[in-house]
Amino acid sequence: MDLKFARTDINAKPKKVELAKIEATLEKEESVIFYFDRENSHKDLLELQDYFEAKGKSFYMSEVKYGLSDSEYMYQVHIIN
């Protein structure tokens, strides 16, 4: 599963993130919100959802539009212990 965080600049490339880093952040916090880039496949994000729900965590995902174009969106993921 290859996931990328949302870009912080329109011309920048999205940064890759490993599942272990997401889990480490979640161990420190009770609730975490991540923003993933539109380059992530919806299938990978659903696999991420299955992974965390299998561990007994709540997982909420939505698309966030930040412009008028259809390609101007990112995924918001909220994981709760």
Beta-ladder partners of 16: 4
The residues spanned by each domain of the chain are: 3-80
Give tens-digit pLDDT for 27-43: 999 999 999 999 999 99
- For residue 81, the tally of other CB atoms under 10 A from its CB is 13
Local confidence band at 1 (pLDDT 50, 70, 90 cut-offs): confident
Tell me what the mean pLDDT of segment 9-31 comes to: 93
pLDDT at 57 over 90: yes
- Of residues 41, 1, 7, the one with CA closest to residue 23: 1
pLDDT at position 2, please? 82
